[in-house]
A and B are shown apart, each in its own frame.
Chain A
Amino acid sequence: DAGVTQSPTHLIKTRGQHVTLRCSPISGHKSVSWYQQVLGQGPQFIFQYYEKEERGRGNFPDRFSARQFPNYSSELNVNALLLGDSALYLCASSVQGRVEKLFFGSGTQLSVL
């Protein structure tokens, strides 16, 4: 079975632009979570979705939004990009809404110039 897949792997944007990151969970997993990892730091929680509903939101501005589709894949959207949004964005999936063992994708490296 395929693991968690994220696309694209790398992305370069300029300040003020919009970006959409995509994630496909492991087959059978209904929960998707998004994390931001700035270089040299641990990942920070952004969102969790379970059965297409938002179950949790971290301390991120409203420029960050996400959604989950009927096939359990997910998109993370970031508007009005800032230089500080440059980071590795990680998607993780789990079977249920209550966080058990998380399986992480390889991430999308976003650079904002």
Chain B
Amino acid sequence: KQEVTQIPAALSVPEGENLVLNCSFTDSAIYNLQWFRQDPGKGLTSLLLIQSSQREQTSGRLNASLDKSSGRSTLYIAASQPGDSATYLCAVTSGSRLTFGEGTQLTVNP
């Protein structure tokens, strides 16, 4: 059974700081890995998708890496802004389903 773990559970940083969110998964037989953002009480917004054959993806200030053999992914956020405050969820795809971690709650203080 696939299990996804995210560390840390919560993170509070001052505006402008670069930060890294971590995700690990137990079964390396994945199709892809996605990072999502979730604002309180809202749905999920896909940030980055990394295919299992890829090592990283970049979008603006976000960079996600994938090391399938070690079962790890990181999401790097550069020059954080208060608008980045949200919960960030990592999910791996296998078969017909996504398996999610419990998320990292990020607060960026002005």
Chain A residue with Cβ nearest B45: A104
B61 at interface by CB-CB < 8 Å: no
- Return A44 CB to nearest CB of chain B, in Å: 8
Instruction: Determine if B49 and A101 form an interchain contact, defined as CB atoms under 8 angstroms apart.
Output: yes
Q: Which of B12-20, B70-78, B88-96 contacts A (4 or more CB under 8 A)?
A: B88-96
Task: Tell whether, in the assembled complex, residue A109 and residue B41 are in contact, meaning their CB atoms are under 8 Å apart.
Answer: yes
Proximity string of chain A (82-113) to chain B, C-beta cutoff 8 Å, 1 when within and 0 when not: 00000010101000011111111111010000
Closest beta carbon of chain B to A87's beta carbon, Å: 12
Question: Considering residues B46, B49, B97, B99, which has the most beta carbons from chain A within 10 angstroms of its beta carbon?
Answer: B97
Q: With A99-B31, A101-B34, A102-B34 given, is the CB distance from A43 to B44 under 8 Å?
A: yes
Is the C-beta of A33 less than 8 angstroms from some C-beta in chain B?
yes
Does B96 lie within 8 Å of A56, measured CB to CB? yes
Report how far A55 CA is from B34 CA in the complex, Å: 20
Which of under 10, 10 to 19, 20 to 34, or 35 or more describes the interface residues of A? 20 to 34
**Is there contact, CB below 8 Å, between B97 and A45?**
yes
Sorting the interface of chain B by its residue count into under 10, 10 to 19, 20 to 34 or 35 or more gives: 20 to 34
Q: Taking the complex as formed, is B100 at the interface, i.e. its CB lies under 8 A from any CB of chain A? A: yes
Q: Which among A41, A42, A48 is the interface contact of B97 at CB below 8 angstroms? A: A48
Q: Output the residue of B4, B36, B96, B100 with the most chain A CB within 10 A.
A: B96
> Any chain B CB within 8 A of the CB of A40?
yes
Least CB distance from A26 to B in Å reads 12
| Chain A residue at minimum C-beta to C-beta distance from B42 | A106
Q: Which residues from chain A sit less than 8 Å from chain B, CB to CB?
A: 4, 33, 35, 40-45, 48, 55-56, 58, 88, 90, 92, 97-107, 109
A-B pairs, 4 with minimum CB distance: A56-B96, A42-B100, A45-B97, A104-B44
Could you list 10 examples of A-B contacts with CB < 8 Å?
A4-B43, A33-B98, A43-B98, A56-B97, A88-B41, A97-B96, A100-B49, A102-B44, A104-B46, A107-B43
